[in-house]
Structure 1
């Protein structure tokens, strides 16, 4: 199944769900099997700070959200957690934080170098917008991949929902990541209030154009105490699954997040049915959260973020018929 154009993307986005499930999702799963051996990859994830200076209208960690207890984890404690993860078999780690100017950049370099010294073969980061020279320092310290989500490809919408930055500044950061020699992970929010199918199609085309290594995409999930939550949501799970399949068909080797919501919102991103549906649609990545439960609940990018343990990922691999892989 060949999908390249905006019209072909829109055809699938508008397709009746049963037709999509019968024809498109199985083809996306077949492509993953053919190109990547049908692997489900487990990655350790650690949110080392939930302090953020930004005021994004959709994010639960926005600076104005006083309901969130804030924390910062010292580099020594981060590395102790990564050491424990390494002993369990993890070789990939995703380090994520709010855009926290008081968490020194030197500490981040220390964590990256320490992770590599522990034997982590893959270090991915999502810590905000930096200058190219800083991305180069991260790469020199051992970082492999950096996440800068464009969130929405529509410039006017981006500037409205992200008042602490701008579309131009975000795209400049994305270019800088690539120019620094890091792999770029990027993606969008699916079906946020007011998004059209045409805008969603443009998001997908932008991911293809950017030649991303990982697509950390999820449907819009309203977060408490955020302005956008009053405008509607949650986003369509069905559209999100279609996007996952489209990304697999258009970029066969890309990594795609399977940590997705299911029918019960209370399950958050740890939903068995949500994860299994995403895997059936062509996704291949699940995370084990290294944060203690209290802090994991405070890391409110979206609500109901529940720790995914290693056993959960193994269970998802077995139930989906995929090969578990560290």
Structure 2
């Protein structure tokens, strides 16, 4: 099987591409290599992929929100399925640069839906986000819960992606699976995420910023577990049989939470980072930031039932693995 992976220079995209190649598939990876965070990290991920996968992995730099550029890049390429993980990420940055989210997450998503439609692709798995639940105070979050009160533009674009996907499943019978990711972390992670920011600050003797005065909980999910879930979903397209799918659709469109099914207090995560770094953190407690939420917690019953997904990595194992990789990557 040949798979088109968008966001292949990103954290999750690179990890999914590597696993696909390792099991014998071939991957065409595309990514715009934008400068939302340091491009060198994205380039290093691609280089690592090439080293690990050899000829099974090919890569093109292209902005998938640019229809003409995307069409030209894919014109002579064949692929059976799509894993669409590319997006403009980050809740807080959406307050500063909203247009980037509209271009990448709305135009880009429609472009990939159009590619899938016209190519007759067998299945497209795409990235949604736990942020679609907004300020929902019912825990854990279930895919049946309402998700129409987003508290950030990022969340609104991800919910819009789900609705557009439902339309394409209805009109064109394109099999689609949307995954609501919960706080993914691990080696090769993103520099704008708390784990990276905290580790970097602690190792370099800088204070860390902890919002909502430390009263924050997240369902931290290790990258290896996420990748296992993404690929299991890719292998199990929703049937066009009129039966109700996870998320409520009767079209070939399923929605799943993909998390660790454990909500961890941020102060506990900081303790584990301190242990792995061998240093204490200097903590600066701050109020809640606009667009953020206090708690996330994934109900994963649907993906366990339908796909057999089962996370296996607790933060007690995952955080030391991230810190070890971080030290090695930065020669610390």
Q: If the TM-score is normalised by the length of the shorter chain, which range does it land in?
A: 0.3 to 0.5
Normalized against structure 1, the TM-score is what? 0.38
TM-score, with normalisation over the residues of structure 2?
Answer: 0.38
